[in-house]
Structure 1
C-alpha cells in the first residue's frame, strides 16, 4: 500500500471529517426556507457577525494565521459590517450586537488552519446563497448581501489557492488531527451559536 493510501491528504481528511457536520448545518440554515424575509435575513447576518467578529479577532491576535496565506485578503468582517449598515443598523447598533464567547480552541497553527478551512469554504457556498437572496429578497452586493460574495470574481481562484496551500502542507498524522478537530469544532460552535440566536430552522 502506498503512503498516500495509508495517509489521506489533508484536504481529504478535512472533507471526510467535517462532511456530516457541514450537511447538518446546511439543512438548518434558513436561506432556502419560505420563512426567509428581510427581518430573518438581518438577524441571520447579525448572528454571523457575532461569530466572525471574535473568531477573526482571535486568529489575528494570536498571530496564528497560517504563514504563506495573505490573511489581509481574507478578512470578512468589514464587509459584514457594511452589509449590516445597508440593512439599517448604525455603528452603535453593530457594536452592541451579541458576540459568541464559546469559540473553537485555536492554540496552534494547525488549529488555525482548521478554522480557516471552514471560513474559506463558507465563501464558496456563499455563491449559491447570494443567488437565492437576490431572488427572494432582491438584495445584491450594494444593498446588504456583499458578504455572500465577499471575494467577488476571485472566489474560485482564492478557494483553489487555499486548497493548494492545504495540499502543500505535509503535517503528519498528529497535526492533521489537530486541523480536522479544529474544523469540526468550528462547525459545531457555529451551529450552537446560530441556534442560540434563534436563526436556524
Structure 2
C-alpha cells in the first residue's frame, strides 16, 4: 500500500534537482540582451554535443523500464535538423565536440532520473521558442524546432511521462538512485555547456 508519508518519485526528483535546475536556468543565455544568431548557433552545437552521446548512452543501455517510447521521444535528430538549418552541415555536425563526462546509467532507476531531466526540459521550450522567434526570428523551419520539440503534443507527452513515472513501484533506495542520476545529468550538462563557453 502506498503511504501518503512516502513522497512519490516525481516529488523526490523535483525536490532533489530544484537547486541545480534553477542554477542552470540562470546561466542559460536565451534571455540575455547579448544573445545573437552566432551565440545561438554555438549554443545548439553544444546542446547537440551533449544530447547525441547522452541519448546513445541511455537508449543503448537496455535498462529503460518498459513503457517509455524512445522512438517518439528521441531529440538528437531535431537538433541536427536545426543545425542544418543554421548552416552547419551533417559532416561538420558529426565532427563537433561531444561530451564524454556523462552520468553512469547502470540501473533502470538511473535511467529514469536522466529521462526526467530530458523530458522536463521540453516544458520550458514553449517560452524559449516565443523568445527566440521575437528576438532572432528563429522558428521551427530555420533552427528553432528543438525548442518546441513536441509542438502541440508537449503537455500531453509530459503528462504521459508523469503517468509512466507514477506507474513504477520504486523503493526508497531506487528513488535515491534516480535522483542521483538526475542531479548528475544536470551537473554534467552545465559543466559541458560551460566548457563550450556558451553560458552566462
TM-score range, shorter chain: over 0.9
Alpha-carbon separation, structure 1, partners of 2:65 and 2:156: 18
Partner of 1:117: 116
Asked if 1:4 is matched to 2:10, the reply is no
The aligned residue for residue 133 of structure 1 is 132
Shift of 1:7: 1.4
Residue 44 (structure 2) aligns with: 45
- In the alignment, the residues of structure 2 paired with residue 127 and residue 17 of structure 1 have an alpha-carbon distance, to the nearest angstrom, of 24
Matched residue, 1:55: 54
Match of 1:180 in 2: 179
Change (3 A) 1:3 1:162: closer
1:156-175 alignment, distance < 5 Å: 156-175=155-174
Aligned counterparts of 2:167 and 2:126: Cα–Cα separation in 1: 26
What's 2:104 paired with? Answer: 105
Q: Distance in 2 between matches of 1:46 and 1:111?
A: 26
Deviation at 1:3, TM superposition (A): 5.8
Q: Describe the superposition over 1:33-67 as per-residue Cα deviations: whole angstroms up to 9, x where unpaired.
A: 00110000000000000000001001121122221
Equivalent residue of 1:6, what SS? Answer: coil
Alpha-carbon distance between aligned partners in 1 of 2:177 and 2:94, rounded to the nearest angstrom: 33
- Is 1:89 the counterpart of 2:57? The answer is no
Query: What CA deviation, in whole Å up to 9, does each residue of 1:115-168 have, x standing for no partner?
Result: 000000001111111111111101100010000111111000000000111111
Q: Which residue of 1 aligns with 2:153?
A: 154
Aligned length: 200
Superposition misfits of 4+ residues, deviation over 2 angstroms: 2-6
1:28 alignment partner in structure 2: 27
CA distance in structure 1 between the partners assigned to 2:91 and 2:195 by the alignment: 22
C-alpha distance in structure 1 between counterparts of 2:14 and 2:3, whole Å: 16
Q: Any idea what the Cα deviations from partners look like across 1:7-52, whole Å, max 9, x if unmatched?
A: 1110100110000000000000000000110000000000000000
Question: Shift of residue 69 of structure 1?
Answer: 1.2
Q: 2:10 and 2:2 mapped to 1: Cα distance?
A: 16
Q: Do the aligned residues in 2 keep the contact of 1:194 with 1:200 (CA within 8 Å)?
A: yes
Name the stretch that deviates more: 161-170 or 39-48.
161-170
Q: Residue 192 of structure 2 aligns with which residue? A: 193
Query: How far 1:169 sits from its partner (Å)?
Result: 1.5
> 1:65·1:71 contact (CA, 8 Å) conserved in 2?
no
